A and B are shown apart, each in its own frame.
Chain A
Amino acid sequence: MTLSIMKQGRWTPFLYLLPALVIMFIFIIYPMANTFVLSFMDKTGTQSAAVDCMPGEPCWGVLENYRYALTSSDMLTALRNNASWLLLMVPGTVLAGLFFAVLADRVRYEALAKSIIFMPMAISFIGAGIIWRFVFALESGGGQQIGILNAIIVGLGGQPVAWLSTPAINNYALMVVGVWLWSGFCMTILSAAIKAVPTEILEAARVDGANEWDVFIQIMLPMIMPTIVVVTTTMVINVLKIFDIVYVMTGGNFGTEVIANRMFNLIVTDTGRSMAIAIILVLLTVPIMIFNMVRFRQQEAMR
Chain B
Amino acid sequence: MASVTYEHVWKRFGDFIALNDLNIKIEDKEFLVLVGPSGCGKTTALRCLAGLEEISDGAILIGDQKVNDVAPKDRDIAMVFQSYALYPHMSVFDNMAFGLKLRKVPKEEIRKRVEEAAQVLGIEHLLKRKPRELSGGQRQRVAVGRAIVREPKVFLFDEPLSNLDAKLRVQTRAEISKLHQRLQTTFIYVTHDQTEAMTMATRIAVMNKGVLQQLDTPQTLYDRPANLFVAGFIGSPSMNFFSGSLRKDGANLFVDTGDFAIKVPENRVATYMPLAGKEIVFGIRPEDIHNPTFAPPGIHAEPVEAKVDVTELMGNEIFLYLVTGKHSCVARVDPRTRFMIGDKVQVVFNMDNFHIFDLSTDRENPLAVR
> Which one of B73, B89, B132, B150 has the highest number of Cβ atoms from chain A below 10 Å of its Cβ?
B73
Identify A209's interface contact among B50, B88, B103, B156, CB under 8 A: B103
- Cα–Cα, bound, A28→B78 (Å): 58
B77 with A207: CB separation less than 8 A: yes
Q: Flag whether A201 is at the interface (Cβ < 8 A).
A: yes
Contacts of A209 in B (CB 8 A): 73, 99, 102-103, 150
Contacts of A198 in B (CB 8 A): 83, 85
B82 with A211: CB separation less than 8 A: no
Contacts of B132 in A (CB 8 A): 302
Nearest B residue to A303, CB-CB: B132
Q: Known contacts A201-B85, A201-B87, A223-B89; is A207 also within 8 Å of B79 by CB?
A: yes
Contacts of A223 in B (CB 8 A): 88-89
Interface string of A192-230 (1 = CB under 8 A from B): 000000101101111111110010001100110100000
Q: Known contacts A200-B82, A210-B73, A211-B73; is A205 also within 8 Å of B87 by CB?
A: yes
Q: Known contacts A201-B85, A201-B87, A214-B102; is A206 also within 8 Å of B52 by CB?
A: yes
Nearest B residue to A302, CB-CB: B132
Q: Flag whether B254 is at the interface (Cβ < 8 A).
A: no
- Of the four ranges (under 10, 10 to 19, 20 to 34, 35 or more), the interface on chain B belongs to 20 to 34
- Cα–Cα, bound, A2→B355 (Å): 71
> Which one of B51, B72, B103, B146 has the highest number of Cβ atoms from chain A below 10 Å of its Cβ?
B72
- Cα–Cα, bound, A253→B146 (Å): 61
Contacts of A203 in B (CB 8 A): 50, 52, 72, 79, 81, 85
Interface string of B65-87 (1 = CB under 8 A from A): 00000011101011101110111
Interface residue SS majority, chain A = helix
Contacts of A219 in B (CB 8 A): 87
- Cα–Cα, bound, A209→B97 (Å): 11
Nearest CB of chain B from residue A210's CB, rounded to whole Å: 6
Q: Known contacts A200-B83, A223-B89; is A208 also within 8 Å of B98 by CB?
A: yes
Contacts of B78 in A (CB 8 A): 207-208
Identify A210's interface contact among B82, B102, B150, CB under 8 A: B102
Nearest A residue to B89, CB-CB: A222
- Cα–Cα, bound, A198→B85 (Å): 8
B89 with A200: CB separation less than 8 A: no
- Cα–Cα, bound, A204→B83 (Å): 10
A207 with B89: CB separation less than 8 A: no
Nearest CB of chain B from residue A72's CB, rounded to whole Å: 47
Nearest A residue to B152, CB-CB: A207
Nearest CB of chain A from residue B84's CB, rounded to whole Å: 8
Contacts of A214 in B (CB 8 A): 102
Nearest CB of chain A from residue B97's CB, rounded to whole Å: 10
Nearest A residue to B103, CB-CB: A209
Nearest A residue to B146, CB-CB: A208
Q: Known contacts A214-B102, A219-B87, A223-B89; is A208 also within 8 Å of B73 by CB?
A: yes
Contacts of A225 in B (CB 8 A): 89
- Cα–Cα, bound, A245→B99 (Å): 49
15 intermolecular pairs with C-beta atoms under 8 Å apart:
A200-B81, A201-B86, A204-B79, A207-B52, A207-B73, A207-B77, A207-B78, A208-B73, A208-B78, A208-B98, A208-B99, A209-B73, A209-B150, A211-B73, A225-B89
Task: State the A residues within 8 Å of B (CB).
Answer: 198, 200-201, 203-211, 214, 218-219, 222-223, 225, 302
